[in-house]
């Protein structure tokens, strides 16, 4: 039985990746410090092992990566405001933590590392492809770009194979809890609890929203089909929607049209337009998003009213 180790496996994306690999009959090791991830996210299964460990702590990390075929690295400070608010912590986790994971993977003989990068590495751009020159505007984007370059160097040294997924705006959090909400699930939570929907800036920012289960599918397709030493893939829906449009979709679905939309100053590092060209992932991996954002919002609203 093949074995995968998932860092950050108790988070939103990580827990769905874990479930996907279990469905495909893999043995799974979750490494998480539970600073934002939650034990309730991890399924009970005979083929899963959960280890509480902070990736910034090198001691004891290396032994976790022995007898592992694939590492999916998702552990990170993933909130742009959190990274801007504590730059030192952002680099400690997103860069130094990754360095520890890479060294442990190389020493342990891991065959493939799948790295969760971000659309934030691009900065501004209309139609973003993997050949678009990265120009990150945020601390978070810079840390992810440094991580990509670390993986590229390690793969050129033939110490590991590495696949980078530049993931766009993820949604799909259906249960309340700690951690970071994406704007889709934050708007839904606000509507359910009759709070005003907060928009930073004028709301004309355009985003590419991708369901978390589509991201998990992309991760598994990489593991199935990746045969290169190093490569990068965009993982998004390939379509854009403004934040203001999203707010109205949520208010309409939840019958909360009378709730206010509150406009606040734009946050540092926010990008105006970010939509993925996913043709490379479609061709190379057979990646095809299955979830529709509007249907997701409507279904959440129906379930709430049922």
Q: What angle do CA 121, 127, 130 make, to 5 degrees?
A: 50
Query: Positive or negative, the Cα torsion across 234, 235, 240, 246?
Result: negative
Please say if 140 is a catalytic residue.
yes
C-alpha span between 290 and 4 (Å, rounded):
24
Three-state DSSP class for residue 276: strand
* Residue from 15, 13, 9, 2 nearest 32 by CA: 9
Catalytic residue among 122, 140, 220, 296: 140
Burial readout 197-226 (b: 16 or more C-beta within 10 A, e: otherwise): bebbeebebbbbbbbbbbbbbbbbbbbeeb
C-alpha span between 217 and 16 (Å, rounded):
9
Phi/psi of residue 173, nearest 5 degrees: -85, 105
Per the CB < 8 A criterion, the answer to whether 132 and 122 are in contact is: yes
Three-state DSSP class for residue 260: coil
Strands 206-207 and 197-200: unpaired
Catalytic residue numbers read: 140
């Amino acid at each position: 039985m093949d074995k995968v180790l998932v860092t950050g496996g108790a988070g939103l994306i990580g827990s769905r990746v874990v479930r996907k690999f279990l469905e495909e009959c893999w043995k799974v090791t979750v490494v998480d410090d539970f600073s934002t991830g939650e034990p309730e996210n991890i399924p009970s299964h005979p083929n899963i092992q959960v280890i509480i460990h902070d990736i910034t702590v090198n001691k004891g990390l290396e032994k976790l990566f022995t007898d592992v075929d694939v590492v999916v690295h998702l552990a990170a400070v993933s909130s742009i405001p959190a990274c801007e608010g504590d730059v030192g912590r952002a680099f400690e986790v997103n860069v130094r933590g990754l360095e520890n994971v890479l060294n442990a993977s190389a020493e342990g003989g891991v065959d493939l590392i799948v790295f969760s990068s971000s659309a934030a590495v691009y900065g501004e751009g209309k139609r973003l492809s993997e050949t678009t020159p990265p120009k990150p505007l945020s601390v978070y984007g810079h840390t992810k770009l440094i991580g990509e370059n670390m993986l590229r160097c390690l793969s050129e040294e033939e110490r590991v194979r590495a696949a980078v997924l530049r993931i766009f705006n993820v949604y799909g959090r259906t249960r309340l809890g700690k951690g970071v909400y994406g704007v889709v699930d934050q708007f839904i939570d606000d509507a359910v609890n009759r709070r005003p929907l907060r928009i930073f800036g004028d709301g004309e920012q355009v985003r590419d929203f991708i369901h978390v289960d589509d991201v998990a599918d992309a991760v598994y397709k990489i593991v199935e089909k990746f045969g290169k030493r190093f490569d990068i893939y965009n993982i998004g829906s390939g379509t854009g929607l403004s934040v203001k449009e999203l707010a109205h979709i949520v208010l309409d679905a939840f019958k909360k049209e009378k709730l206010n939309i509150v406009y606040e100053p734009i946050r540092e590092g926010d990008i105006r337009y970010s939509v993925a060209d996913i043709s490379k992932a479609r061709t190379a991996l057979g990646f095809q998003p299955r979830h529709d954002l509007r249907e997701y919002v409507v279904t959440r609203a129906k379930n709430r009213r049922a």
